Amino acid sequence: MEFGLSEDQKLLQETVRRFVAEQAPLDAIRKIAEGDEEAKQTIAAGIEELGLNGIAVPEELGGAGLGMLDAVLVQECLGYGIVPSGFLASVVASTTFSSADTALAQAIAAGEVRFGIALNDLVSRRDGAGLSAQNGVLSGTSMMAVSAEDATHLLVCDVERNLHVCAPQDYQVLPTIDRTRVFTELKLSNAESQISLADGKGALARACLLLAADSLGASQAMLDKAVEYAKERKQFGRVIGSFQAVKHLCAEMAAKIEPSRALIWHAAHALDMDEGEALVMALLAKAHISEVATFVARTSTEVHGGMGFTDLVGLHYWFKRIGVNRQLLGSPAQLRQMAAVAQGLVAA
């Protein structure tokens, strides 16, 4: 059996890559990292114009009606350009409750609502944090929410690992090394739960997979930048790419990235087909690419030598994106433990 992308999927990737190259160059990312809201909103408007936020919403509800594999391809392109966007939150939210509230899913596709998600408690919870849900009312705090700073709705997880949709209230920005994105601590007090779902495993699988795709795109960008630099930088009268040691570094990065892409695509396909192994594959995909991406980030910086640490080259934006993605929704060790529990290999 040959597994590959369809012509439509290739065209989708091509379109998003062109958008990223034209609308989200490194200079724009620098401005966003420095707090330029206008630059951030310009990119958000472009993503909305392409209809990407409704990519997983059924066609009858105004969306594109595509699957997780298509969403993964888009997220990989966004990760390649370290683009800050609400795409991940929109996809996770719309695929989680589209059957429970078609009107809300339709509003996502139309760009009328923006979602933030806070699912970290599905994996682990900091002492003193957590949301309690009693009689349809949510109270407490939730850490490391994504895309919540300008959201109209939130998808959150309570201490019993049930999912809820509610309106945002107060939040506090949490500083991280990745300044291209905003992470927040949500603070809710007697917030009404508009939708409640008992099982958060599907949302966790989709969120992990999209983070994996984001790291995959960032890794590919760092490899491409290392190869490009190695072709131009000269030492001892020769380009450094002609030295065997540098060739080996670049080849090793490429050899680690390509199988990771196949693993992520397979996990996305499993989710689209609703296969029993989908959750396990998504967890393992994120765990694996997190380690591969960490290796690529370090090695690409080494190929650049001293220039790799300068703001002029800007490698640190990709380096930090990879580092934060590694820890979001569970470290590699945590996710492999969860995958082992899901397969019944170890006790919960």
What is the secondary structure of 237-295 as a DSSP string? TEEGGGSHHHHHHHHHHHHHHHHHHHHHHHHHHHHHTT-TTHHHHHHHHHHHHHHHHHH
Tokens 């066609």 sit on residue: 59
Decide if 298 contacts 273 (C-beta within 8 A).
Answer: no
In this prediction, residue 2 carries a pLDDT of 64
Q: Nearest 5°: phi and psi at 107?
A: -65, -35
Decide if 139 contacts 194 (C-beta within 8 A).
Answer: no
Q: What is the DSSP string of 23-65?
A: HS-HHHHHHHHTT-HHHHHHHHHHHHHTTGGGTTS-GGGTS--
State how far the Cα of 38 lies from the Cα of 84, in Å rounded to an integer. 13
Name the residue among 128, 183, 195, 208 with its Cα closest to residue 156.
Answer: 195
State how far the Cα of 7 lies from the Cα of 9, in Å rounded to an integer. 5
Using alpha carbons only, how large is the chain's radius of gyration in Å?
20
Mean pLDDT by 10 residues, the chain (348 residues): 83 97 95 94 94 94 94 98 95 88 90 94 86 93 94 94 94 94 96 89 96 98 96 88 92 97 96 94 98 98 91 94 96 96 88
State how far the Cα of 159 lies from the Cα of 63, in Å rounded to an integer. 32
186: β partners: 142, 171
Name the residue among 239, 204, 220 with its Cα closest to residue 328.
Answer: 204
183: β partners: 146, 174
**What is the helix (H) or strand (E) element at residue 104, kind and residue range?**
helix 102-109
State how far the Cα of 268 lies from the Cα of 281, in Å rounded to an integer. 9
Entry pTM: 0.95
DSSP letter assigned to residue 128: T
**What is the helix (H) or strand (E) element at residue 217, kind and residue range?**
helix 201-232
Decide if 241 contacts 247 (C-beta within 8 A).
Answer: yes
| Whole-Å CA distances, 222 to 226, 252, 282 | 6, 13, 23
Domains delineated in the chain: 1-112 (1.10.540.10), 114-199 (2.40.110.10), 201-342 (1.20.140.10)
In this prediction, residue 129 carries a pLDDT of 85
Sign of CA dihedral 150, 153, 155, 160: positive
pLDDT in tens, 218-238: 999 999 999 999 998 888 889
State how far the Cα of 14 lies from the Cα of 21, in Å rounded to an integer. 11
Beta strands in 122-237 (DSSP E): 130-134, 137-146, 153-157, 163-166, 170-174, 183-192, 195-197, 234-235
State how far the Cα of 299 lies from the Cα of 295, in Å rounded to an integer. 6
State how far the Cα of 29 lies from the Cα of 84, in Å rounded to an integer. 8
**What is the helix (H) or strand (E) element at residue 115, kind and residue range?**
strand 115-118
